[in-house]
Structure formats: structure tokens, C-alpha cells
Homo-oligomer: A and B are copies of this chain.
Amino acid sequence: MVNNFRSYLEKKRALIEEWIDNNFPKGSGLGRRVIEASLYSLKAGGKRIRPILCLMGYELFRSDSEKVLPFACGLECIHTYSLIHDDLPCMDDDDFRRGKPSCHKAFDEATAILAGDGLLTLAFEWFTHPKIIKEVSPLALLRAIHLVSKAVGLVGMVGGQMADLLAEGKKGDARTLNWIHTHKTVLFLEASLVTGAILAEAPNEEIKVLSKFGKKLGLLFQIIDDLLDIVGDEKTLGKPVKSDLKKKKITYPALYGVEKTRALAEKVHRDALQALEALSHRDFKLLKELTIYLLNRVN
């Protein structure tokens, strides 16, 4: 099972990389530097969790998930833009990402801001790519775009990053931590999975189940992320450890300690698997494997 799952992930990653390579804008004009910078960050590696979640959400209901690859790859553009902007000196000021210099280090600040802007915009160009428009229901596609833009917008990921910056160095409480993580990370991960199901025109009740599961999965992802900053290996992570600690970020281990955080991760993991049970008539074993993978991940 585990080996099958690893090879599933590899196969999907290869499809995602291939689609990106074949469809990324060619930089022939005077502005090609920003195309190089966007591609530098987009191709710097990464687990491709969000596009894979979208494909998995789709595959619960339909088998031809290659049809929604443009949408899935757009989600990865949004994720990469958020990393580029978060790494900027006036934000989290991180010099390394995925074992390579961050975009503003490899290029410069202005180019990095523009690369982020360009990737965010490219996401919506890909969401409405002719290749997907002819394959899925136009209304489902519009609904999926609406859901993602809300999840990553002012009352979603962008609001979460704002709150994260404002909370730095302050004594935070559980409510603040939960608000930040929900907005900065969970909503987008949840939306990535749910848009897959929307594009497959899944029944609304099942979309609700996936939404509930997605929230748990997103929370699990973030708790482990917080833990890896403390107990992770710098080389495997591709970024310096204890950076949340140095910046006095509000995190689960900072609030509860490592032991209790680990226990919390295991509880959320169980909750996620339990939420999935409502889909017992579907083949959800890949989502189950993914939940286990996210609990045990080391990068």
C-alpha cells in the first residue's frame, strides 16, 4: 500500500511538472527576467500537495483527472507566489527555500514581488485555460475559481499572513494561533481538495464531507509544519530550522510544547480519518494514505 501510494505521488508529480514545463509562458520579450524568476521558484521542488489534493478530490468521482491538470497546476502557482512574497525581507525575511536561495536572493526584491504577482495571475490564466474549458462544466469551473479566490484572499490566506506578521513577538493564545493557521494554511489546502470534487461535479453532500476532512488535513499539515521547525532536519527541510522560534512566531509547539503538539497531531489525524468514513461508498484509500503521509512527513 505505502509503496503504491509513493508511486502514485511520483506519477502525479511527474504529470504536474510536465504540464508546467509545456505551458509556462515563454520569456522572449524585455520582461523575461520576471518569467525566469517565477519559473525558478515554481520549479524549485516542493511536494506539490495542493495540485495532488485537487487531482485526488476529482478522482473520488471521476477517473479522467488529466483533464483538470491546468487547474491543479494553477493551485501550485498560487502556493509558490505565497512563498515568494512571504520570504521577502519586509515579511518573514527568509534567505532559503527548498535548499536554494529564495527568489529575492537569487534575483532581487522588485523581481521577486513581480514574480509573485505574475504567478498569482498565471493561476487564473490556467484556471481558464482553453484545455480545461472544453473538458469540464463551465459553471463548475466558475464555482471552483470563486472558492479558491476566497480561500487565498483578504479573508483567507492573505489575511492569515497579515495576522501572522502582526502576531510576531507577541504572546499569543490558542484563539490567535487557530485563526492564523486556519486562514494562512487550512482554507487553501481544503479548497485545493474541494475544487477537485467541484470540477468532477460531485454531489453537494459529499463536497461537504470533503470540506470537513480537508479542514482536518490542513490543520494536520500545519501542526506538523510547526513541529518540523523544532525537530526537523535542516538538510531534509531545505530551510533553516528553529526559524519560527527565532522570529517568535506563534506556533503549536511554542504554545503547548513538543509532546502535547505531537499528541494533538495524532488526534487531528484520527479526526481526519473519521471524517472520511462518511465517504465509505467511495474509494478513499489514497486520501487515507495521504493523511498518514502528512502525519509522518519529514519535509
- B-binding residues in A (CB < 8 A): 25, 27, 29-35, 38, 81, 85, 88, 90-91, 108-111, 113-114, 116-122, 124-125, 127-130, 133, 138-139, 141-143, 145-146, 149-150, 152-155, 158-163, 165-167, 176, 179-180, 183
Q: Give 27 pairs: A residue, B residue, CB < 8 Å, sorted on A.
A: A25-B155, A29-B155, A29-B179, A30-B162, A30-B167, A30-B180, A30-B183, A33-B162, A34-B154, A34-B159, A35-B154, A38-B154, A81-B117, A85-B117, A91-B113, A110-B165, A118-B158, A120-B121, A121-B152, A122-B149, A122-B153, A124-B124, A125-B153, A133-B139, A133-B142, A141-B142, A145-B145
Known: A34-B159, A133-B139. A128 touches B145 (CB 8 A): yes
Question: Is the Cβ of A129 less than 8 Å from the Cβ of B108?
Answer: no
- Give bound CA distance, A119 to B149, whole Å: 11
A14: shortest Cβ distance to chain B, in Å? 24
* Closest residue of B by beta carbon distance from A120: B120
Known: A121-B149, A152-B121. A35 touches B159 (CB 8 A): yes
Additional pairs, 11, CB under 8 Å, beyond known A35-B159, A38-B154, A121-B149: A29-B155, A30-B159, A30-B167, A31-B161, A35-B155, A85-B113, A88-B113, A91-B113, A114-B161, A127-B145, A142-B142
| Residues in B neighbouring A138, C-beta threshold 8 A | 138-139, 141-142
| Residues in B neighbouring A38, C-beta threshold 8 A | 154
Instruction: Classify the secondary structure of A's interface with B.
Output: helix
| Residues in B neighbouring A91, C-beta threshold 8 A | 110, 113
Question: Is the Cβ of B30 less than 8 Å from the Cβ of A118?
Answer: no
- Give bound CA distance, A167 to B118, whole Å: 19
